[in-house]
Amino acid sequence: MKSKNTLIFTINIIMLVLVSFISLLFGSKILNITDVFNAIFNNSTSKYSFIIFEYRIPRLLICIMVGMSLAVAGAIFQGVLRNALASTDVLGIGKGAGFFACMAISLGLKEPISLWAMVGGLLAGTIIYILTKKTNFKNTSIVIMGIAISALFDAGIQYLNINSKGNIQTVLLWLTGSVWGRGWDEVKILMPFIIIFIPLAIFMSDKIDILSLGDNVATNLGEKVNELKLFLLFIAIVLTASTVSVVGTIGFVGLISPHIAKNLVGYKHKLVIPLSGIIGGIILVTADLIGRTMFAPVEVPIGIVTSIVGAPYFLYLLIRRKAIK
């Protein structure tokens, strides 16, 4: 079993490296493999080193970090809430963070956008937790409440979009989710969250397995269930809010990645969480590559690409769960 899991992780890491290298080839100027290698390893003599290091590498790193964050957050939500349909977008966490971020942009607030996004994500997460706790985390209730919360914050975003006196284009870019124009400054914003909270999520993965056994069993095993759930949800919300603060709202990565990981390595979160992160990176880098090349020179925002793939997958999960019942 260990050798099988090692092989699965190795294959996915190779896939991430491969698709990452391919993404460096494409842009407004298509490069060949030799150009990219020279730019990376002989950057003092390569005429493409500026393009690679100032535009494509930071964009690539942002895609990987955002994909990992959303996927790990989705795995935590699904594990803690014991609901396979739970994710950042279905639960309205991304919309909550997006609303507060757009509000900061529209009002021209001086505080960092990431701070306002964090407040919005925490608020949405708190509302969802309180409401789902009353229904004992019933599957249909979580989905319905998540849709309602998303609709509420989405209405707020649309209102800001119509009445905003600030930068409308920036707000619109946030709504679709895009890595266009992002650079090293955004990498520096995301890096602390990745370094702190993803390892923390992996460290706490055994606790998620305990919670999956049910509240009564977890309590009998000596766990403080409510405090543990709040802490784990806080990790997921921070990861979600940090990504929204940089690239806007990107849907379905947090839903799809954990499902693929569970199909590959089972349900132990010690394996599911890191593999979900790798798969999330692969999905987002691939989506960005498709968005840049499919209708070149016109660029399709990455959030649109993930929604085209993710929405049918979400419907498939709903139909499959209904058929099982």
Q: For residue 240, what is the domain's CATH number? A: 1.10.3470.10
Summarize pLDDT for 23-40 with one digit per residue, the tens.
998 887 888 888 888 888
Give dist(CA 266, CA 158) in Å, integer. Answer: 40
Instruction: For residue 193, name the pLDDT band (cuts at 50, 70, 90).
Output: very high
> What residue numbers bound the domain in which 315 lies?
2-324
Residue that the structure tokens 């279905």 belong to: 90
Total domains, the chain: 1
| CA dihedral (234, 237, 241, 242) positive or negative | positive
Are the C-beta atoms of residues 153 and 98 closer than 8 Å to each other? Answer: yes
| Most confidently predicted of 82-96, 232-246, 248-262, 277-291 | 277-291
Cα 310 to Cα 297: distance, rounded to the nearest angstrom: 24
Whether the full predicted model's pTM is greater than 0.85, yes or no, is yes
